[in-house]
Amino acid sequence: MMKTFAELDFPGRLIAVEGLDGSGKSTQIYLLKRWLEAEGIKVYFSEWNSSELVKSATSKGKKRELLTPTTFSLIHATDFADRYERHLLPLLRAGYIVLCDRYIFTAFARDVTRGCPPDWVRGIYSFAAQPDLTFFFKADLEVSLNRILKGRPKLKFFEAGMDLRLSSDPYESFRIFQGRILKQYMAMSREFNFVVTDANRNVETQQAAVRKRVRERIDLERFRRRSPLPLPPAVQRTNRVEEMEEDSAA
């Protein structure tokens, strides 16, 4: 049984968001981050597949369509392990609230859907602790698809699961692939205590529900900064100039 960071006595807390592509989870965690910052909370943000160690290799492999399901899984595991050791754990030890746009559950859902053995996938992520709070944004497939296509003209190859040869039509492939991923997520939801959120609702309603749950589950006062954030250099320079002008005028 995976333990949470609270159960492992870490000073910080980790909040993760999961969901299908186009579910709106990235928007929600961005809004959560901005709200926590405005509240004076010590917060750090990390997203899936963003480690500089393997980012370029992943990008090249995707462009050339060279990645097998196993290779895909191992590259993402390497990415996560690098961020986990170099970014997530140090900030959690320093008493921050860490926000993750996707966590190990993305691999559990996607990699298994791509044909990797479930026990094997979970085994390579066995070093990771469970988030203290995981939101799963559940959106209808058509809603997710429409949101994606609003921002760009077509689906990406791997996003649509075209590597699995589910259908020659990328939109149908997307529906099949993401539908299978959704089944994996729903099977995990009770095991890992996901907070399942209706992602078909408007952004504001969802965000209000997210903030309410965060307040209920995490004592935010413990993570409030004791001193304000330092001003950006440009603002500091402006303040110094104003002080000098006031001194000269006096």
Q: In which domain, by residue range, is 119 found?
A: 13-249
Domain-located, residue 135? yes
| pLDDT value for 228 | 58
| pLDDT value for 205 | 97
| pLDDT value for 247 | 43
| pLDDT value for 191 | 94
Domain-located, residue 48? yes
Domain-located, residue 101? yes
| pLDDT value for 54 | 72
**Mean pLDDT score of the chain, rounded to an integer?**
88
C-alpha to C-alpha distances, 226 to 205, 220, 223, 231, nearest whole angstrom? 31, 13, 9, 15
CA 119, 15, 102, 17 dihedral sign is positive
* Reported confidence tier of residue 72, pLDDT bands at 50, 70, 90: confident
Domain-located, residue 81? yes
Secondary element (H or E) of residue 46 = strand 43-47
- pTM value? 0.85
233: pLDDT strictly greater than 60? no
* Reported confidence tier of residue 230, pLDDT bands at 50, 70, 90: low
Domain-located, residue 3? no
60: pLDDT strictly greater than 80? no
Domain-located, residue 5? no
| pLDDT value for 156 | 86
| Percentages (nearest 5) of helix, strand, coil residues in the chain | 55, 10, 35
The CATH number of the domain holding residue 223 is 3.40.50.300
The Cα–Cα gap between 115 and 164 comes to 9
Domain-located, residue 2? no
- Structural domain tally of the chain? 1
Domain-located, residue 113? yes
11: pLDDT strictly greater than 80? yes
